[in-house]
Amino acid sequence: MKFLENLTRKPNTFQRTIGLTLQQFDLLAEQLVPHWKKTEEQRKFLHPRKRAIGAGHPYKFQSLRDKLLIVLFYYKTYATQEIMGVILGIHQANISRLLQKMLPLIEETADPELVTYLERVKKEYAAAEKISNFAQFFEQYPHLREAATDATEQQCFRSKDYEKQKIHYSGKKSKHTLKTQISVASTGRILDVSETYPGSVHDKTIIDQEETVKKFPKKSCQRFDSGYQGIKQKNPDHYIVLPTKKQRGQELSKLAKEHNRVNSKRRVVAEHVFSRLKKFRICGNLYRGCLESYNQIFRSIAAILNFKLINPSIIM
């Protein structure tokens, strides 16, 4: 396909259109191969077959590299599937099937530790805690020294069902939204992604249900904004930093203002990650897809950002 060939010939255009450099894309495509083969084998032998494997109309895009390119192009631009079909010369239904097949594989390939990283590290922390060897622990896991947690909202369609649209209405945004919480290390690595909640759910409710604070080692510095009041009392054994709120009719002291300034400066890393996430327009524009698929898509984009961070030597 001429469109795909032209993209790969222009590295700068490729990066702006796909979200990865050409070198990063090639590495991701290479790592995707075993995951794709395993999934396809499971799919082909899932049910008794009436036709031999390989029968039927062949894929127009046989190369897995082309398939990945189409999916990332969709995530980055969030063009409609009909427009994608016109550009690529295939039917919209083929685009839809390809996206469904690739959906669970992006996260698994780009950052397989996104789900398990904190759980695995806490086991290492338990061993370090027994001998109070925290310096060595944080030297081995610098991402756990400090983390910022925050939630973001993305607009979705208003449901025709009254009860469903009611819980998705966000008073803060005055729109129907989906809310997802992330925890980000000071290095920029995304350490945790929550489930997705309706827009009416408060940030504090999400962190309580997810038990995010307890996922981190006790000595890790966790920074939050003023919407998370009360989590210090619920987690007294964890290192938590919250901004100082001004009392009604009173002014904050210079020390409190400086504390808030420093906390905001350290916590802004989460806002920077949200900005990078939303450059993939599927996480920034009005979400048009199935609500049940949204969280996996969000996690896939988070995994791609971690993949870019983990592979800095090939960033142009």
pTM of the model: 0.91
Cβ(305)–Cβ(273) below 8 Å: yes
∠ at Cα 261 (188, 151), nearest 5°? Answer: 45
Q: Which residue has the tokens 């003023």?
A: 226
Which distant-in-sequence residues (6+ apart) come within 8 Å of 154 by Cβ?
177, 178, 180, 283, 284, 287
pLDDT-derived band of residue 17, with 50, 70 and 90 as boundaries? Answer: very high
Residue 213 three-state SS: helix
> Per-residue pLDDT tens for 150-192?
999 999 999 999 999 999 999 999 999 999 999 999 999 999 9
Task: Write down the pLDDT at residue 1.
Answer: 59
